[in-house]
Structure 1
Amino acid sequence: MMSVKEAQPEMPKAEKAVDTAPKYSAPALEKGLDIIEFLSRCDTDYTLAEIASKIGRTKGEIFRMLAVLELRGYVVRVEDADKYQVTDKLFQLGLRRPKYKSLAYIATPLMEVFAEKTRYPCHLAIPTGSQIAVITRVDCPDPVGVTVRVGYRQSLLETGSGLCLLAFMSSANRSRAIEAIKADDPWVNVDELEAKLIQIRQNECLIEPSKVMDGVWDISCPILGASSEGAVAALTVPYVKLVTNPIAPEAVADHLITAASRIALALTS
């Protein structure tokens, strides 16, 4: 027979309090990151006092840090003004990662072949959060053409490259990108966006007027990685109709699809 002691239910052990405090602390580094992250979100330049106020620090706390960031090239002082802006040094460091160096190294020769055939420039963009970033470009052989500089960043929703990336990236990556977009713009119509992305996938590429430059059309195709990865980059042409080069946008798109397929094959082989 079971004893009373044995029959008594075991009392649950008290749960240990979860320690949410950071395990390690580096106050100086945190100040530097606060400055860089704040300036990277700004469309205007700020003085030392304004930066301190915006990030909840005192001028004394960030004076030396700002001086070091300027010395190392992460921020720059605006000429004729005691204001600061962030540089693209962190972005350039990111491009040195083997993944992106290999992508640019493999893609550039094939982009040059495309430019030689069509007489149009092209650029390669990757997704980064809610934006695209251009990592390499090839100019057209002719003296007239529209080019986009390496390092250019813009919203995924405002560029052909961005919409193409959203359409062809994996569903998991697309969900994360859309969440980042919604954080920037809570009013974005996700249902309308999803319908547009379906249409782009059905067409295999995107051809639409640029949201950034009047008179320019974005023609964009995905660079597909492994089957589960989806699009890792987008190959894009800023198309303008030239009297000296009357090739139709649909013909440019055909050549672009071929170039994108060759780049994808080279990446995955």
Structure 2
Amino acid sequence: MFEDAADRYRAPALDKGLDILELLAATDESMTQAEIAKALGRSPNEIYRMLDRLVRRGYVARILGDRYELTLRLFALAHQHAPVRRLVSQALPVLRQFSRRAEQACHLAIYDRGRVIVVAQMDAPSYWSYSIRVGARVSLYNTGSGHVLLAFASAEERSLMEAEREIGADDRGRPDDLDERLEAVRARGYEAMSSFQSESVFNLSAPVLGPGESAIAVLTCPFLPRVDRADVPGRDEALAILLDATRDLSIVLGKGGEES
């Protein structure tokens, strides 16, 4: 009897630990051992030792006596990854300049194994802002960031991205007109679309280009119109500022490396 390749190198204990981490990462509140076991379809005794090890290694914290939640250790590990660390450190001054000029929030997102992940974020300088937290995972199909990443990928890369995309709670499936939309996004160099998540937000997204005109990241402004001030840049002006910012980032992070 042949053993399935996917099962040949299984590590049940590792799978169990990763299941716990992914569950706690997707949960806003802390959970008890019994709640974790129930959510994972396991007995409390089955996950006791794994929880104990995760607490001792600093990935999970035990609070309020019998409840567990993630620490920031995974977040710190992610930011020790050299390419992401370089990307964020180089991008933050540009994000800050954009927010000051446009008086809008913005965030930088990348594609990683089926996910669109926000890796940097900058609030607007005023009291009013709409922002997405760092670490948030957003849809390939329902966001400006996702559209840009797909539009500036090769046909082979796009097929792979769609095949391994992460399906979230807000997933609406593949739009019928997606191919035509992506073609238009690539032709004009940016995406401009009403938000699928908030009625008042209009997403402006443009690529940070690397070698071969592929998108290594996307800068998005969740544009909020201001009716209380006439001196704040409007949507068209904010888009122009956004395109300036992505050109600067492309030189620093992508094309500049190719030309040097």
TM-score range, shorter chain: 0.7 to 0.9
Which runs of 5 or more structure 2 residues have no equivalent in the other structure? none
C-alpha deviation, 1:263, in angstroms: 0.4
What does residue range 217-256 of structure 1 map to in structure 2 within 5 Å? Answer: 217-227=202-212, 230-242=214-226, 243-244=228-229, 245-256=231-242
CA distance in 2, matches of 1:183, 1:147: 22
C-alpha deviation, 1:221, in angstroms: 0.5
Helix, strand or coil: the match of 1:123?
strand
Deviation readout 1:159-214 (Å, 9 max, x if unpaired): 22222222223333321221133866997236422222112222211111112222
- Residue pair 2:105, 2:129 contacting (<8 A) in 1 also: yes
1:46 to 1:115, Cα distance in 2 relative to 1, 3 A:
closer
* 1:148 paired to 2:132: yes
* Structure 1 counterpart of 2:185, one-letter code: I
- Which of the numbers 189, 196, 199 marks the counterpart of 1:204? 189
CA distance in 2, matches of 1:193, 1:173: 16
1:63 to 1:158, Cα distance in 2 relative to 1, 3 A:
same
C-alpha deviation, 1:261, in angstroms: 1.1
CA distance in 1, matches of 2:60, 2:191: 36
What does residue range 127-206 of structure 1 map to in structure 2 within 5 Å? Answer: 127-181=111-165, 188-189=173-174, 191-206=176-191
* 1:102 paired to 2:86: yes
Moved more, 101-110 or 91-100: 91-100
* Structure 1 counterpart of 2:90, one-letter code: I
- Residue pair 1:111, 1:259 contacting (<8 A) in 2 also: yes
* 1:216 paired to 2:204: no
* Structure 2 counterpart of 1:165, one-letter code: L
C-alpha deviation, 1:222, in angstroms: 0.7
Match in the other structure for 2:45: 60
CA distance in 1, matches of 2:198, 2:63: 27
What is the alpha-carbon root mean square deviation over aligned residues?
A: 3.2
Helix, strand or coil: the match of 1:181?
coil
Q: TM-score, normalised by structure 1?
A: 0.77
1:193 to 1:251, Cα distance in 2 relative to 1, 3 A:
same
CA distance in 2, matches of 1:214, 1:19: 48
Larger Cα Rg: Structure 1 or Structure 2?
Answer: 1
* Structure 1 counterpart of 2:52, one-letter code: A
How many pairs are equivalent? 251
* Structure 2 counterpart of 1:48, one-letter code: Q
- Residue pair 1:119, 1:140 contacting (<8 A) in 2 also: yes
Moved more, 84-93 or 144-153: 84-93
Identity of aligned residues (%): 34
- Residue pair 2:115, 2:166 contacting (<8 A) in 1 also: no
Which runs of 5 or more structure 1 residues have no equivalent in the other structure? 1-16
C-alpha deviation, 1:29, in angstroms: 2.5
* Structure 2 counterpart of 1:203, one-letter code: R
C-alpha deviation, 1:103, in angstroms: 0.8
C-alpha deviation, 1:135, in angstroms: 1.1
